[in-house]
Chains A and B, each alone.
Chain A
Amino acid sequence: MMRFFVGRLLQSIPVIFIVITATFFLVRAAPGGPFDAEKTLSPEVIERLNERYNLDAPMYEQYFDYLGHLVQGDFGPSFRYTNRTVTEIIYAGLPITFELAIYAIMIALVIGILAGMLAAIKPNSAQDYIPMSLAMTGICMPSFLLGPLLVLVFGIWLQWLPVSGWGYSPGDKILPAITLGSTYAAYIARLTRGGMLEILSQDYIRTAKAKGLSTASIIFRHALRGGLSPVVAFLGPAIAGLLAGSFVVETIFQIPGLGRFYVQAAFNRDYTMILGTTILLSCLIVLLNMLSDLLAVWLNPRLALSNEKN
């Protein structure tokens, strides 16, 4: 188990390295520089700024310079928010994005698994068709459409919930979390249904029934663990997608998370900011995928064995 973990960690180093290198040269290959947007600046000022941020140095020098700072945990100063470092901005924004993602995935898991189980217990009945059509709608409904619709219904018409903000008024976290989580709830529902149907057709479910167990015991003790394995495999990519996709929701609901900074940074050619957030997200994705694999191994004793053999 430990070897598996360490192996995966070692494997992720080149991945992160590729991400850093690709992003670094990609942003710099783009036409335009970080200070182009401010038309008021005279060429001399821009030159001085370039000098200050070492942007006039040869590309490779900038690259190694950046790597050098990076290994010390320094993402460098933001080119846009001149008085703040990238680390500071991340520090302020990441917890908010994280909180949003956690609420969203919790909503997705609870709703998705419940709906999937209901559907799998009575396949091809109303109990199956209704949640699954809802799931289908959920998959087809992009968050930039669902978000405003929810705002319209619950925020403006019914006035039950605040339409924007984060942590200012009670309940303002509900709509963003639902908006972000709904697509994933839909996918999880479909995966749960598929996984459970597969498991429920296994012989050992019949064995369990022959022991005199109730339907609830059969589902929870015997079927759930195996039936959820597709969901577990999906969790890593799902959370990664949640984090990456959160900026739409953050924009709609005006949440000061990391996502908004990211999109802004891309438009502004804020090199260090783009790099910092990209590297951070890549690390998170790698980590989450690893955790998701570990969870899958923990859930399935046969996988644990084959990993030890390798």
Chain B
Amino acid sequence: MIDSLKDYQDVSFEQGRSLWQDAWYRLNKNKLAMLGLYLIIFFVVISILTPWIGPYAYETQNLALGASAPSAQHWLGTDIHGRDLMTRLMYGGRISLMVGFAATAVSLVIGVLWGTIAGYVGGLTDTIMMRIVDILYALPFMIFIILLMVVFGRSLLLLFLAIGLIEWLTMARIVRTQVLSVRKQEFVSAAIVTGLSHWQIIRRHVIPNILGPVIVYITLTIPSVMLLEAFLSFLGLGIQPPQSSWGVLISGGVETMEEYPWLLIFPGLALSLTLFALNFLGDGLRDALDPRATRD
């Protein structure tokens, strides 16, 4: 605490600083979280730039080559059709990350809105809204997704819409619980007495105080969505070949793991690295957004 105070005092007082500036300042001190952040940024940038920087065209086959181990031409080797694994991994990452982020964004928007309204308004509104969540919870969604994918074909849009529509339920519950506990705090009463509108209170006092758990949950949702996509691909219901995702690559790699282990190791590594990075970033962000956190 003293350390950080010293830093504050070096900056002579000019004007108020926002929570975000402070959070960024604290996040910068958390090495693991920053490593996670850089890794995620790296993956995202690579995915965006893949069409321009990919060493090979996506579908280029070299059947003569077949499955070959990593070499100078093909850094990560080739698959049984002789396609460059690194290229496929980069394209697969595009899909996996897109599904992960987009579906999580869908669940985040719906979940936070729903949970905040239910928790903040309370009373009958809360009861009805949460009953709806309870009912939806009881639906076998996994089964519905499988059904949807079978029935309406494997569209990427449908996929992350469907996944997003399941994941928001838990988000709404978490947000509501947090909002309920923040709402009872005296500083919210103080804000009402000051004369802030409900919307201002939600934005300035409630949301900043529920961000921690929400961010942690986001970093848990992105991986679980990516796994869900992989799982559907495993069942043959996810991305259609010749497109691929990390999930498709892993399940393909599983089949040939005895003969060509690199086809499993590299996709598995890419997925695991992303998941770990997200976790460290999530924990780091939670601490950074809490001025009381004791960790540096």
Contact = CB atoms under 8 A, between A and B. Distances in A.
Interface of A: 11-12, 14-15, 18-19, 22-23, 26-27, 29-31, 136-137, 139-140, 142-145, 148-149, 152, 156, 237, 240-241, 244-245, 248, 262-263, 266-267, 274, 277-278, 281-282, 285-286, 289
Interface string B264-291: 1000100110011001000000000000
A228 B143 CA distance: 29
15 contacts: A23-B147, A139-B275, A140-B227, A140-B272, A142-B250, A145-B251, A145-B268, A244-B140, A244-B143, A248-B231, A266-B147, A266-B150, A285-B140, A286-B138, A289-B138
Interface in B250-271: 250-251, 254, 257-258, 264, 268, 271
B234 interface: yes
B124 to A, nearest CB: 14
A267 B230 CA distance: 18
Contacts of B275: 139-140
B181 to A, nearest CB: 14
Contacts of A26: 144, 147-148, 151
Contacts of B279: 136
Contacts of A149: 257
A152 B258 contact: yes
B13 interface: no
Closest 7 CB pairs of A and B: A30-B151, A140-B275, A244-B142, A144-B234, A148-B254, A266-B150, A15-B138
Contacts of A23: 144, 147
Given A244-B143, A282-B140, A289-B137, A142 B258 contact: no
Interface size range on B against A: 35 or more
Contacts of A152: 257-258
Contacts of B257: 148-149, 152
A29 B148 CA distance: 10
